[in-house]
Chains A and B, each alone.
Chain A
Amino acid sequence: MSLLEISGLSLSIHAQPVLHGIDLSIAPGEIVAVTGESGSGKSMTALAVMQLLPGGARCDGAIRLDGTEILNLPESRLCALRGATVGMVFQEPMTALNPVRTIGDQVMETILIHKAMSPEAAEARAREVLDRVGLPPERFPLARYPHELSGGQRQRVVIAMAIALRPKLLIADEPTTALDVTTQAQILDLLKGLVQEFGMGLLMITHDLAVVAGMADRIAVMRHGEVVETGPTRHLLADMRHPYTRMLFQASGHRVDLPPTRTEEPLLQVENVSRDYRLPRRALFARPGYHRAVDGVSFALDRGERLGLVGESGCGKSTLTRAILGLEEVQSGQIRLDGEPVFSGHRPNMRIRRKMQVVFQDPYGSFNPRHRVERLITEPFHLLEDPPEGPERAEAIAEALEAVGLRAKDAAKYIHEFSGGQRQRIAIARALIIKPELILFDEAVSALDVSVRAQILDLMAELCRSHNLTYLFISHDLSVVRTITDRVLVMQAGRIVEQGETEQVFSDPRHPYTKSLIEAAPVLPDPEEIRRSQGHV
């Protein structure tokens, strides 16, 4: 008998349909992954099982959990189920814990609220589960507060809370999306281990097909509130029936074709650059401490070259990006573009600044909501001594918009009229409009759904052909860096630990850190290979 049986589940929120006739089941000890792009309804499916839906939600159909139909249970019975029979882990570990209560307190609460044990036994159990999720007592006493822990450690606490009463079903909603790859790998291992050890069912919600492939026994692919395809993982990956599944799979592993354009002429030279941040004083008159965010970094970027910069959060890549853009002065070393320093005499060098543009990560935050597209994308004209005016200006706007696949008349619209992918195109148009010699892509595709990401990567390859771009592509996503760059730098704790031709570094990493990164990154399996291996079995 299955542990969770969802049949014909439909959900509407304020009469707006969200889910249509979802069927899904999970057996004890089974990992079922629900995947899909944003807006597919995968998180709502998870919240429906918890019955923690937003106000105005209405469910039809049936959700049977361990033999109990939960859709018509009173709230008190639901509370008794939550935390005891079914536990949940959320996406954002940084905000999922109450900042003013200790971790021990919060783990114990799961036990005490269900009156499952005496306070003494609850404390012992809390200690035990925290040990189990990898937070040993000597470093993580129960009296720790959440702000003293890293994101990965906090996610472990959330998992400890969810499993404290050994629930039969665990729901994990994008549990590793906010984490670095190495941490992600550890958390996924932990979840797999827990499923095996306790025989729990795990409902895992994730957008990342590579994670799904390595983790799940079965997959359900969702789009627009419907399950379009479902089946055992290997089976489904070997034989994708639905065109959407195939598109999703292809977009996830999308490879682009970069034209060869490299010259031997250095454009950007970074020499022995260090950047310190002052730390708050420890005592009133103590000498303030420093944190070295970038530590003696040197590299060169040739004209026409596409260089990648990878590293996990906090490795200093954002600081380095800001330094290259001339937004912040460095403490030592020299950054030169086209032979001239980006910072001279403690001021950013405007002559150099206009040879450089940047595309940011957040398609929603990188535009002033009160300006029209024409004003938004012409902002870099401020850097020119003699910016184009009148018809020349209109022409430049049209040219930039058309280069990124938009229409000239989009110039009169406001930014909220565009989707995330279109906004990222506009961001690229803004970077192109003054025809810079170097573009920095700062996590430029990280916030996009895979299908949109594939389109933007294609656009970049196309622009490489038509505009002969030189860029520095900064990202935490190894698979994207692998396809969109010629050469790559690997950064750890402020230092470049390895650099070389992209394919070379990925297929034969030298530095142990690079090795661990590549090992930790989940890989999309090759359907051909699965088919072949299944044939052998």
Chain B
Amino acid sequence: MSRNLILGAALSSLVVLAALVSFLWTPFDHAAMNIPDKLRPPGGANLLGTDHFGRDIASMIMVGARTSIAVALVAVGIGMTLGVPLGLTAAARKGSWLDEVIMRGNDLVFAFPSLVIAILITAVFGPGAVNAIIAIGIFNIPVFARITRGAALSLWEREFILAARVAGKGAARISAEHILPNVANLLIVQGTIQFSLGILAEAGLSYVGLGAQPPTPSWGRMLADAQTMVSFAPHMALIPGVAIIVTVLGLNLLGDGLRDWLDPRIRVART
């Protein structure tokens, strides 16, 4: 096991642990305002200080981790459950109209940056965590479809697939029995990378007010609140930023480590 894998797993599990613990315990009530104690710097009773309403930043970070993880995880789930079957189908029917439609559809979604999808969705249905999930999830679909198709296509050229066809197995059965297990490693690695990109995207969407709405705490909105106060309360901006960096860095290291550990030949699409 590589250093990347260990460090990545450690950082990622730290964040997940903080999110899980927040269901049972936080240092303070994350939503409790306490104006007299506002804008306390880190150290003292509030380990990471307080914000402009006197809320405990450490508690908000812990609860905010839930939002980030939930949004990114469900978005990866959407991308995988829709994208992987699409990619497998396109590869199994390579060159057919179905392949063409799936790939053109992919290109089309790629033409909408995730933020633009989010803007369209919020313009119609209003902002919120669920819409953020949908926007990031939609963006993940072509990512998974494309890498699944690419990997599956090279597997379809292999002789063991030909052997399965000679044994009378159909495309669906071959995809499930032979293709999917052989692209699983790739999907795990790419899933980790998309997870980290989802964390970043969620933070960006909440920052511009298209993500989770109050009172749900989120790292992105903590940063939006901090912006006007950055000159006299820099900790308000610094701490959520570090939380995001630690999470994304951890997941990326985990992804790279998993790749080296599972199969060094895997190529990850990172954009």
Answer whether A and B touch in the complex at a CB cut-off of 8 Å.
Answer: yes
Please classify how large the interface on chain A is, using the bins under 10, 10 to 19, 20 to 34, 35 or more. 20 to 34
Indicate if B182 sits at the interface (CB-CB under 8 A): yes
B159 & A382 in contact (Cβ 8 Å cutoff): no
User: A380: which B residues are within 8 A, CB to CB?
Assistant: 166-168
B160 & A368 in contact (Cβ 8 Å cutoff): yes
B160 & A365 in contact (Cβ 8 Å cutoff): yes
Distance to closest chain B CB from A446 (angstroms) = 13
A366 & B166 in contact (Cβ 8 Å cutoff): no
Q: Render A398-441 as a binary contact track against B, CB cut-off 8 A, 1 for contact.
A: 00000000000000000000000000000100100000000000
Determine which of B159, B165, B166 lies in contact with A365 in the assembled complex, contact meaning CB atoms within 8 Å: B159
Distance to closest chain A CB from B174 (angstroms) = 10
Q: What 3 pairs across the A-B complex have the smallest Cβ distances?
A: A366-B159, A360-B159, A383-B168
Determine which of B159, B160, B181 lies in contact with A361 in the assembled complex, contact meaning CB atoms within 8 Å: B159
Known: A354-B168, A365-B158, A382-B168. A360 touches B163 (CB 8 A): yes
Indicate if B162 sits at the interface (CB-CB under 8 A): yes
Indicate if B164 sits at the interface (CB-CB under 8 A): yes
User: B158: which A residues are within 8 A, CB to CB?
Assistant: 365-366
Indicate if A141 sits at the interface (CB-CB under 8 A): no
14 pairs, A vs B, C-beta closer than 8 Å: A325-B166, A327-B165, A353-B166, A358-B162, A366-B158, A366-B163, A370-B181, A379-B163, A379-B164, A380-B166, A380-B167, A382-B167, A382-B168, A382-B169
Indicate if A333 sits at the interface (CB-CB under 8 A): no
Indicate if B178 sits at the interface (CB-CB under 8 A): yes
User: A367: which B residues are within 8 A, CB to CB?
Assistant: 160, 163
- The complex places the Cα of A24 from the Cα of B116 at a distance, in Å, of 68
In the complex, the chain A residue whose C-beta lies closest to that of B179 is A368
B181 & A366 in contact (Cβ 8 Å cutoff): no
Distance to closest chain A CB from B163 (angstroms) = 6
- The complex places the Cα of A356 from the Cα of B158 at a distance, in Å, of 20
User: A356: which B residues are within 8 A, CB to CB?
Assistant: 166
In the complex, the chain A residue whose C-beta lies closest to that of B181 is A370
Identify whether the interface residues of B are mostly helix, strand, loop, or mixed: helix
User: A354: which B residues are within 8 A, CB to CB?
Assistant: 168
Segment 60-115 of B: residues with Cβ below 8 Å from A: none
User: A369: which B residues are within 8 A, CB to CB?
Assistant: 182
Indicate if A350 sits at the interface (CB-CB under 8 A): yes
Q: Render B159-197 as a binary contact track against A, CB cut-off 8 A, 1 for contact.
A: 110111111110000000010011000000000000000
- The complex places the Cα of A350 from the Cα of B167 at a distance, in Å, of 9
Segment 363-411 of A: residues with Cβ below 8 Å from B: 365-370, 379-383
User: A381: which B residues are within 8 A, CB to CB?
Assistant: 167
- The complex places the Cα of A379 from the Cα of B169 at a distance, in Å, of 9
In the complex, the chain B residue whose C-beta lies closest to that of A430 is B163
User: B162: which A residues are within 8 A, CB to CB?
Assistant: 327, 358, 360, 366
- The complex places the Cα of A358 from the Cα of B165 at a distance, in Å, of 11
Distance to closest chain A CB from B73 (angstroms) = 27
Interface residues of A (CB under 8 A from B): 325, 327, 348, 350, 353-354, 356-358, 360-362, 365-370, 379-383, 427, 430
In the complex, the chain B residue whose C-beta lies closest to that of A356 is B166
B181 & A353 in contact (Cβ 8 Å cutoff): no
User: A358: which B residues are within 8 A, CB to CB?
Assistant: 162-163, 166
Distance to closest chain A CB from B21 (angstroms) = 38
- The complex places the Cα of A366 from the Cα of B159 at a distance, in Å, of 4
User: A348: which B residues are within 8 A, CB to CB?
Assistant: 168
User: B169: which A residues are within 8 A, CB to CB?
Assistant: 379, 382
Distance to closest chain A CB from B44 (angstroms) = 54
Which interface residue of B159, B160, B166, B182 has the most chain A CB atoms within 10 A? B166
User: B181: which A residues are within 8 A, CB to CB?
Assistant: 368, 370
Q: A360-B162, A382-B167, A427-B163 are in contact. List 5 more A-B contacts (CB 8 A).
A: A357-B166, A362-B159, A366-B160, A366-B162, A382-B169
- The complex places the Cα of A420 from the Cα of B84 at a distance, in Å, of 33
B168 & A353 in contact (Cβ 8 Å cutoff): yes
Q: Render B126-170 as a binary contact track against A, CB cut-off 8 A, 1 for contact.
A: 000000000000000000000000000000001110111111110
- The complex places the Cα of A295 from the Cα of B164 at a distance, in Å, of 28
User: B159: which A residues are within 8 A, CB to CB?
Assistant: 360-362, 365-366
- The complex places the Cα of A354 from the Cα of B182 at a distance, in Å, of 27
B178 & A383 in contact (Cβ 8 Å cutoff): no
Known: A365-B158, A370-B182. A350 touches B168 (CB 8 A): yes
In the complex, the chain A residue whose C-beta lies closest to that of B173 is A382
In the complex, the chain A residue whose C-beta lies closest to that of B168 is A383
- The complex places the Cα of A383 from the Cα of B163 at a distance, in Å, of 12
Distance to closest chain A CB from B167 (angstroms) = 4
User: A430: which B residues are within 8 A, CB to CB?
Assistant: 163
User: B166: which A residues are within 8 A, CB to CB?
Assistant: 325, 327, 353, 356-358, 380
Segment 209-235 of B: residues with Cβ below 8 Å from A: none
Distance to closest chain B CB from A520 (angstroms) = 28
- The complex places the Cα of A365 from the Cα of B159 at a distance, in Å, of 5
In the complex, the chain A residue whose C-beta lies closest to that of B161 is A368
User: B164: which A residues are within 8 A, CB to CB?
Assistant: 368, 379
- The complex places the Cα of A358 from the Cα of B166 at a distance, in Å, of 7
- The complex places the Cα of A350 from the Cα of B170 at a distance, in Å, of 11
User: A382: which B residues are within 8 A, CB to CB?
Assistant: 167-169
User: B160: which A residues are within 8 A, CB to CB?
Assistant: 365-368
User: A325: which B residues are within 8 A, CB to CB?
Assistant: 166
In the complex, the chain A residue whose C-beta lies closest to that of B163 is A366
- The complex places the Cα of A348 from the Cα of B167 at a distance, in Å, of 11
Distance to closest chain B CB from A414 (angstroms) = 13
User: A365: which B residues are within 8 A, CB to CB?
Assistant: 158-160
- The complex places the Cα of A43 from the Cα of B168 at a distance, in Å, of 42
- The complex places the Cα of A358 from the Cα of B159 at a distance, in Å, of 11
- The complex places the Cα of A383 from the Cα of B166 at a distance, in Å, of 9
A383 & B167 in contact (Cβ 8 Å cutoff): yes
In the complex, the chain A residue whose C-beta lies closest to that of B165 is A327
Distance to closest chain A CB from B158 (angstroms) = 5
- The complex places the Cα of A386 from the Cα of B221 at a distance, in Å, of 63
User: B165: which A residues are within 8 A, CB to CB?
Assistant: 327
- The complex places the Cα of A365 from the Cα of B163 at a distance, in Å, of 10
Segment 24-51 of B: residues with Cβ below 8 Å from A: none
User: B168: which A residues are within 8 A, CB to CB?
Assistant: 348, 350, 353-354, 380, 382-383
Distance to closest chain B CB from A55 (angstroms) = 16
Distance to closest chain B CB from A170 (angstroms) = 34
A379 & B182 in contact (Cβ 8 Å cutoff): no
In the complex, the chain B residue whose C-beta lies closest to that of A415 is B160
Distance to closest chain B CB from A434 (angstroms) = 9
Distance to closest chain A CB from B259 (angstroms) = 17
User: A350: which B residues are within 8 A, CB to CB?
Assistant: 168
In the complex, the chain A residue whose C-beta lies closest to that of B178 is A368
- The complex places the Cα of A369 from the Cα of B166 at a distance, in Å, of 18
- The complex places the Cα of A500 from the Cα of B168 at a distance, in Å, of 33
Distance to closest chain A CB from B84 (angstroms) = 17
In the complex, the chain B residue whose C-beta lies closest to that of A370 is B181
Distance to closest chain B CB from A375 (angstroms) = 10
Distance to closest chain B CB from A325 (angstroms) = 6
- The complex places the Cα of A381 from the Cα of B168 at a distance, in Å, of 9
